Amino acid sequence: MTEEAAAWALRLFFGKPPKAEEIGEHMRLPNIAALRRVLAGTADFERLAMRGQPYRAPLFLLAPPADPATPWRFEPPSLAAPVSQLCTAAQMESPEFLRWMTELTFEPNQHRKFWEYAYILSVMEQEGMLAPGKRALGFGVGREPMPSLLARIGLDVVASDAPPDIIIGAGWDTTHQHSATLSDLHYPAIVDEEMFRQRVSFRPVDMNAISEQLSGFDVCWSSCCFEHLGSLKHGLDFVENSLATLKPGGLAVHTTEFNLDSNTDTVEVPTLSIFRKRDFEDLALRLTAAGHRVLPLNFHPGDRELDAYVDAAPFTPQHLKLLFGATTCTSFGIAVLKGAEA
């Protein structure tokens, strides 16, 4: 079996990047049928076989932070009064979610990516950032519709994505998830081209090395990007560093992958990190100590039927929780207001 075939089969079967030693081991097998038999005997396969069984929140998810200074609450999260929170089904049954889907010209869909857009916009609105004349900076925007909607509202937007030399080989260059020009970001159904080009500009930005020239913004955002920056530390450092692009009182709002199974073991490979409860608690304490205000951390995982469903590859069109290898994850949004003196 070729290296390419072994890597493809491992990705398809488990939905995660294979390790080099896994590829080497399985290349020695004579064919796909033999590979299937071997994979069916692994612990990862046993985990995948549980697809569709209800998710049960572990106790660590319900526990308050060890440090009482950590901003925290535990209640069903809402888009009407968003904090730093998990994606849940009830939020996508709300009038706020339906309104944002209409604004974005999307058919409402209970998929976590749509929640991420609605969450980011809800936090922006709550904090007074959706107003004409505000300046917004988007990181890792891919082909998302956010720049078009913000331009229609009247914001001046700098949209950014990773430079080509960074994304080559990471998957985005072949799956049309990456933007390289301003035209990649225009949604004609949301905003006309003249207004879009007046209010939106594009530039490549390495999220691990944000230029000091990017400053004075009212708000910055990213939608499920910083888990791809190389490690847990890289991602958490990005959230902190993104605050340097803002005016005092400015808002940073970011979504990413969250580990629903463990507060210790997690996924951390160069192309993906899945963040734990403890990671966000440590980050919140660090940012609070630096004079910033983190909207309270709310790790309530939801109480609807869809909240109990864990999807696995190949993924269905509607899912909030999914398996990445042996790890159950979902989207988490964190929102931070830059301190006046920071």
Q: Kindly state whether residues 120 and 149 are assigned to the same domain.
A: yes
Q: Kindly state whether residues 333 and 313 are assigned to the same domain.
A: yes
In the structure, what pLDDT confidence band is assigned to residue 175 with cuts at 50, 70 and 90? very low
Write out the two tokens for 120: 């980011």
Q: What is the CATH number of the domain that holds 56?
A: 3.40.50.150
pLDDT of residue 279: 98
Q: Kindly state whether residues 172 and 35 are assigned to the same domain.
A: no
CA 34 – CA 190 distance, rounded (Å): 50
Q: Kindly state whether residues 18 and 140 are assigned to the same domain.
A: no
Residue 110 maps to a domain: yes
Residue 97 maps to a domain: yes
Q: Kindly state whether residues 44 and 184 are assigned to the same domain.
A: no
Domain tally, the chain:
2
Q: Kindly state whether residues 118 and 88 are assigned to the same domain.
A: yes
Q: Kindly state whether residues 69 and 17 are assigned to the same domain.
A: no
Taking 70 as the threshold, does the pLDDT of residue 9 lie above it? no
The SS3 call for residue 264 is coil
Domain interval for residue 318: 52-337
DSSP string for 155-187: -EEEEEE--HHHHTTSSTTTTT----SGGGG--
Residue 342 maps to a domain: no
Q: Kindly state whether residues 258 and 237 are assigned to the same domain.
A: yes
Q: Kindly state whether residues 74 and 45 are assigned to the same domain.
A: no
Nearest to 155 by CA among 203, 121, 204, 118: 121
CA 177 – CA 167 distance, rounded (Å): 10
pLDDT digits (tens, 9 = 90+) for 275-323: 999 999 999 999 999 999 999 999 999 999 999 999 888 787 778 999 9
Q: Kindly state whether residues 298 and 177 are assigned to the same domain.
A: yes
pLDDT digits (tens, 9 = 90+) for 250-284: 999 999 999 999 999 999 999 999 999 999 999 99
Nearest to 267 by CA among 231, 295, 241, 301: 231
Taking 60 as the threshold, does the pLDDT of residue 46 lie above it? no
Write out the two tokens for 221: 């955002």
Instruction: At 52, give phi and psi (nearest 5°).
Output: 95, -20
Q: Kindly state whether residues 41 and 114 are assigned to the same domain.
A: no
Top mean pLDDT of 161-165, 169-173, 295-299 is at 295-299
* Residue 193 CA neighbour count, 13 Å, CB half: 3
Q: Kindly state whether residues 151 and 31 are assigned to the same domain.
A: no
Residue 19 maps to a domain: yes
